[in-house]
């Protein structure tokens, strides 16, 4: 079992692929938490406890823990009840020794460090014994394929990483002070020297940028820079630097020749193909020598070979298998345990796992070569036809109810044609259900005051059912503004099998207010995908993620569109939101575009047609809905995606992004960033069209209202206590 994960999710996924290639069965929990201190909040511990329950039930042989901070003593000891051998990988060695590594290290069966002999010797002195072996970062060619020289260079040199905070800010001035054609990809902060190349949100974007450079630079983390921070402890500055951060392994997998800063007198002897320098002057001189001297293609191939043999996921699996079966490492000194990982050649596993991605190094492309591309206009026409076919296939496959239900639909937003309420109404009717719309304003006789003042009213579901004079199978509450009356709900469920459901709930945390509604209904759907686990931590498991979506009526309007009308559409929930994002939008003033604000055009009778008109664009900037707590994704995100209009979203905290950035959407946060990303996409053959098709696929699979309603209506079981 691969337990939890860190920010670089490719580590767990690549290790899983390599383990499976070796014939092992693998359970990957995915990333469960975050932070570098032991968790104490029950809400944060909830997914950890659930994963421990799974481990106890599945009884794996090995549990590989990516983040020891996710397992405080109580949880770690409970995990040991699974009977598995517990392995810890210390990705931030030795920086987190005081906070979350040192306190628990003696309670693991095996410890895998991420540090050189100085670091391993420090652990041996502190804990009185050799604690483990060096197990540096890794990846594979599925996450980061060999791409060197496959696209027109955008710059001579790239740096991948952040340079904006206290520990890393010195990197910015070292990098930007060199007289090189250099781009930084990461959080930059104030970019005084205009070297920012945009933030890369996905592995695919990293690979694309890697294909457009000739060299890479690494500036490692110097442990002395932690002085004054929470991570500091006496002696940390004497432990040197972090030899192989994740960016180094990513560079190597992509075949990019590399220059790395190291402290004076230090080397990277386990990766001799890397050019080591002590300062910016040496780095600049070395870069010029490499750029002007030729031989970069050969160096690129050598980089990849070293990666495949000693820094690939396959190599790490071989090392893991060995140390789990043998204790010979315990008798080795720190230097030998630091180099032990080089005894395991993962090239064969890397080739088998990565497939065609690993074939490229046999015949590396010439530096700067660009594949032949057909005309963009022809490609665009072909892509539009593919998009239309995909949309038509989705339209033809939408579900129709085998046994139509009588559904009372209750909520607010009847005057907004693109509201969740009206989208749900159309979706239910498209499926063949009979719907009784309940506008609270017109049914005031059936609504009483909430004694706690938390809801707009309490609905008499028994009285409503009698009012309709026909069987009501389901009461569906939308938006979380009204509460079903508890006693009547229980009676209808027990005596008549009536379901009471709630969707479109916007809460982001567990609250007593929302728990009142959740405890009454059979099933509750929250827009925020992070909310269900917070309710589950409190014993309320009838909560699911229910995203805003689009209905079949909208898809029908899309299919009436003949061709792309414009290059850019812009969506906002409220017209005022356009002004709040003025800095982002102003740079597109000269581009033909159309705008849609739900609070203005959505209230018009042609609201849905207006959405389809704006979505009939090559790109759609979909602004977040800041009128709702979270903030939450714009309700119209799915409308843009199913139209094949590539969504451009503002980068921010989850859950504003529910798709897969870099694969079916683009994230931006600063003026100029979209132009940078579009320039790369447009120069790469069918890359933009591929993202558009992925966008349609994602929307069809996740955001179709009819499909999601089928799942919601199928739920069973009362939750009234």
Residue 302 pLDDT:
97
DSSP annotation of 241 reads B
Q: Residue 396: which pLDDT band, with cuts at 50, 70 and 90?
A: confident
Residue 510: inside a domain, yes or no?
A: yes
C-alpha distances out from residue 233 to 33, 94, 112, 230, Å: 25, 10, 21, 8
Strand, helix or coil for residue 436: strand
Last residue of a domain, one of 488, 517, 546: 546
Please report, in angstroms and rounded to a whole number, the separation of the first and last CA atoms in the chain.
Answer: 36
Mean pLDDT of 12-18: 97
Locate 443 and state its tokens. 């049914």
Residue 213 predicted with pLDDT over 80: yes
Considering the domain architecture, whether residues 698 and 572 belong to the same structural domain is answered as yes
- Flag whether 142 is in a domain: no
Same domain, yes or no: 566 and 489? no
Q: What is the pLDDT of residue 656?
A: 60
Give kind and range of the element (H or E) at residue 459. strand 457-459
Model confidence band, residue 604 (pLDDT cutoffs 50, 70, 90): confident
DSSP 340-400: GGGG---HHHHHHHHGGGGTGGGSPPPTT-------HHHHHHHHHHHHHHHHHHHHHH---
Choosing from 512, 546, 580, the residue where a domain stops is: 546
Kindly indicate the confidence band of residue 41, based on its pLDDT and cuts at 50, 70 and 90: confident
Q: Is 369 a residue whose pLDDT tops 70?
A: no
- Paired residues of 406 in beta bridges: 434
DSSP 412: S
CA 482 vs CA 449, 525, 599: distances in Å: 10, 15, 22
Per-residue confidence (pLDDT) for residue 168, from 0 to 100: 81
pLDDT of residue 414: 93
Strand partners, 621: 570, 648
Euclidean distance between CA atoms 640 and 636, whole angstroms: 7
Confidence of residue 398 (pLDDT cuts 50, 70, 90): confident
CA-CA-CA-CA torsion sign (627, 629, 631, 636): negative
The stretches of 508-604 forming alpha helices (DSSP H) are 512-520, 531-536, 552-560, 576-580, 582-585
On whether the CB atoms of residues 682 and 376 are closer than 8 A, the answer is: yes
Q: Which two tokens stand for residue 429?
A: 């009717």
Where does the pLDDT of residue 362 fall: very low under 50, low under 70, confident under 90, or very high at 90 and above?
A: low
CA distance 40 to 31: 17
For residue 588, what pLDDT is reported? 82
The whole-angstrom separation of Cα 558 and Cα 307 is 48
Total structural domains in the chain?
A: 4
Among 71-85, 137-151, 361-375, the least confident range: 361-375
pLDDT value of residue 678: 86
Residue 366, pLDDT > 80, answer no
Query: What pLDDT score does 566 carry?
Result: 76
* Alpha-carbon dihedral 31, 36, 38, 41, rounded to 10 degrees: -60
Residue 140 placed within a domain: no
What's the pLDDT score for residue 431?
94
Contact 32, 5 (CB under 8 A): yes
* Residue 470 shares a structural domain with residue 563: no
pLDDT given at position 567: 84
* The predicted structure's pLDDT at residue 4: 94
With 60 as the cut, is the pLDDT of residue 372 above it? no
Condensed to tens digits (0 to 9), the pLDDT of residues 655-667 reads: 566 778 888 899 8
CA–CA gap between residue 217 and residue 264 (Å, rounded): 17
Residue 237 has pLDDT above 50, yes or no: yes
Q: How confident is the model at residue 134 (pLDDT cuts 50, 70, 90)?
A: very high
Report in angstroms the alpha-carbon separations of 596 from 27, 256, 585.
44, 44, 14
Domain boundary among 525, 546, 567: 546
Query: What residues contact 295, with CB distance under 8 A and at least 6 apart?
Result: none
Q: Which range, 27-36, 391-400, 456-465, has the best average confidence (pLDDT)? A: 456-465
Domain check: are 173 and 108 in the same one? no
200 assigned to some structural domain: yes
192 and 93 within one domain: no
Q: Where does the pLDDT of residue 593 fall: very low under 50, low under 70, confident under 90, or very high at 90 and above? A: confident
On whether residue 715 sits in a domain, the answer given is no
Residues 494, 564, single domain; the answer is no
For the residues 574-585, what does the mean pLDDT come to?
89
Is there a contact between 617 and 593 (Cβ–Cβ < 8 Å)? Answer: yes
- What pLDDT sits at residue 47? 85
Specify the pLDDT at position 380: 57
Which residue would you say has higher pLDDT here, 716 or 127?
127
- Token readout for 386 is 């593919």
671 and 559 assigned to the same domain: yes
State whether 183 and 250 are in the same domain.
Answer: yes
Q: Does residue 37 come out as left (phi exceeding 0), alpha (psi in the -120 to 50 range) or beta? A: beta
Q: Span 40-61, mean pLDDT?
A: 88
The predicted model gives 5-30 an average pLDDT of 95
Contact 219, 159 (CB under 8 A): yes
User: Same domain, yes or no, for 516 and 572?
Assistant: no
Q: Are 575 and 491 within one domain?
A: no
Of 521-535, 585-599, 690-704, least confident by mean pLDDT is: 585-599
> pLDDT-based confidence at 537, cuts 50/70/90?
confident
Q: Name the pLDDT band for 381 (thresholds 50, 70, 90).
A: low
Higher pLDDT, 564 or 708: 708
Residue 681: pLDDT band (50, 70, 90) is confident
What is the rounded distance in angstroms from the CA atom of residue 445 to the CA atom of residue 251?
68
Q: 399 CB contacts (<8 Å, ≥6 apart)? A: 431, 706, 707, 710
Q: What is the pLDDT of residue 641?
A: 93
- Quick check: 605 pLDDT over 90? no
Which structural domain, as residue segments, surrounds residue 253? 155-311+354-362
CA angle 452, 456, 461 (to 5 degrees): 95
Among 4-13, 472-481, 644-653, the least confident range:
644-653
Q: Is residue 80 part of a domain?
A: yes
Q: For residues 522 and 368, which has the higher predicted lDDT (pLDDT)?
A: 522
CATH number at residue 600: 3.40.50.2000
Record the tokens describing residue 23, joined without a space. 């014939």
- Rounded to two decimals, what is the model's pTM? 0.84
> CATH no. for residue 510?
3.40.50
Quote the pLDDT of residue 368.
36
Q: Does 403 score more than 80 pLDDT?
A: yes
Q: Are strands 543-545 and 566-572 parallel, antiparallel or unpaired?
A: unpaired
The mean pLDDT value for 442-464 works out to 95
Q: Are residues 477 and 570 in the same domain?
A: no
Which pLDDT value is given to residue 655?
A: 57
Q: What is the mean pLDDT of the chain?
A: 90
Q: Are 166 and 298 members of one domain?
A: yes
Count the residues in the chain. Answer: 721
How many angstroms separate the CA atoms of 577 and 569, rounded?
A: 15
Torsion of CA 665, 669, 675, 678, to 10 degrees: -20
Asked if residue 387 belongs to a domain, the reply is: no
Task: Specify which of 399-403, 562-566, 617-621 reaches the highest per-range mean pLDDT.
Answer: 617-621
Domain assignment of residue 332, yes or no:
no
């Amino acid at each position: 079992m691969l337990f939890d994960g860190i920010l670089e999710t490719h580590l767990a996924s690549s290790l899983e692929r390599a383990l499976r290639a070796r014939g092992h069965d693998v359970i990957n929990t995915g990333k469960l938490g975050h932070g570098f201190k032991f968790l104490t909040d029950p809400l944060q511990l909830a997914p950890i406890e659930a994963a421990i329950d799974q481990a106890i039930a599945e009884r794996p042989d090995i549990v590989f823990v990516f983040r020891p901070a996710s397992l405080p003593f109580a949880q770690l000891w409970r995990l040991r009840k699974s009977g598995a051998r517990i392995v810890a990988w210390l990705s931030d060695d030795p920086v987190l020794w005081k906070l979350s590594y040192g306190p628990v290290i003696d309670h693991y069966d095996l410890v895998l460090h991420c540090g050189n002999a100085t670091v391993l010797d420090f652990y041996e002195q502190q804990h009185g014994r050799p604690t483990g072996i060096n197990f540096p970062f890794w990846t594979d060619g599925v996450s980061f394929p060999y791409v060197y020289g496959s696209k027109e260079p955008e710059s001579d040199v790239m740096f991948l990483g952040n340079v904006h905070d206290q520990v890393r800010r010195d990197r910015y001035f070292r990098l930007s002070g060199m007289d090189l054609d250099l781009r930084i990809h990461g959080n930059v902060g104030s970019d005084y020297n205009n070297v920012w190349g945009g933030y890369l949100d996905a592995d695919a974007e990293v690979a694309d940028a890697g294909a457009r450079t000739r060299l890479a630079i690494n500036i490692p983390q110097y442990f002395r820079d932690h002085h004054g921070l929470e991570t500091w402890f006496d002696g940390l500055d004497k432990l040197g630097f972090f030899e192989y951060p994740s960016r180094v392994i990513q560079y190597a997998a992509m075949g990019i020749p590399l220059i790395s800063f190291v402290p004076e007198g230090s080397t990277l002897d386990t990766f001799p193909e890397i050019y080591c320098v002590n300062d910016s002057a040496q780095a600049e001189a070395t870069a010029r020598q490499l750029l002007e001297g030729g031989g970069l293609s050969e160096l690129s191939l050598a980089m990849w070979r070293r990666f495949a043999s000693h820094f690939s996921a396959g190599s790490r699996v071989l090392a893991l298998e060995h140390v789990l079966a043998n204790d010979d490492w315990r008798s080795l000194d720190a230097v030998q345990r630091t180099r032990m990982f080089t005894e395991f050649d993962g090239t064969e596993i890397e080739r088998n796992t990565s497939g065609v991605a690993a074939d490229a190094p046999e015949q590396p492309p010439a530096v700067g070569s660009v594949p032949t591309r057909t005309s963009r206009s022809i490609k665009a026409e072909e892509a539009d036809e593919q998009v239309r076919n995909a949309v038509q296939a989705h339209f033809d496959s939408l579900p129709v109810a085998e046994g139509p239900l009588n559904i009372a639909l209750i909520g607010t937003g009847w005057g907004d044609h693109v509201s969740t309420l009206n989208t749900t109404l159309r979706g239910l009717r498209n499926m063949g259900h009979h719907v009784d719309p309940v506008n609270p304003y017109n049914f005031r006789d059936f609504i009483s005051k909430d004694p706690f003042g938390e809801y707009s009213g309490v609905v008499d579901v028994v009285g409503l059912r009698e009012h309709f004079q026909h069987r009501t199978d389901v009461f569906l509450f939308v938006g979380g503004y009204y509460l079903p009356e508890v006693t009547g709900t229980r009676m209808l469920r027990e005596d008549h099998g009536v379901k009471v459901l709630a969707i479109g709930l916007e809460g982001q945390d567990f609250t007593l207010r929302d728990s009142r509604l959740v405890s009454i209904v059979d099933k509750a759907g929250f827009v925020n995908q992070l909310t269900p686990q917070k309710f589950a931590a409190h014993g309320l498991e009838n909560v699911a993620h229910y995203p805003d979506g689009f209905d079949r009526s909208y898809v029908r309007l899309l299919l009436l569109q003949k061709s792309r009308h414009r290059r850019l559409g812009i969506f906002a929930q409220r017209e005022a939101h356009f002004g709040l994002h003025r800095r982002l939008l102003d740079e597109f003033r000269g581009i033909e575009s159309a705008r849609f604000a739900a609070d203005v055009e959505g209230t018009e009778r042609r609201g849905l047609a207006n959405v389809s008109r704006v979505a009939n664009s090559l790109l759609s900037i979909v602004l977040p809905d800041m009128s709702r707590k979270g903030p939450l994704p714009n309700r119209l995100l799915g409308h843009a995606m199913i139209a094949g209009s590539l969504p451009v979203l503002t980068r921010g905290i989850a859950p504003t992004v529910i798709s897969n950035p870099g694969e079916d959407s683009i994230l931006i946060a600063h003026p100029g960033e979209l132009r940078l990303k579009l320039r790369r996409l447009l120069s790469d053959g069918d890359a933009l069209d591929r993202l558009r098709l992925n966008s349609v696929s994602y929307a069809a699979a996740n955001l179709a209202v009819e499909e999601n309603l089928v799942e919601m209506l199928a739920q069973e079981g009362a939750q009234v206590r």
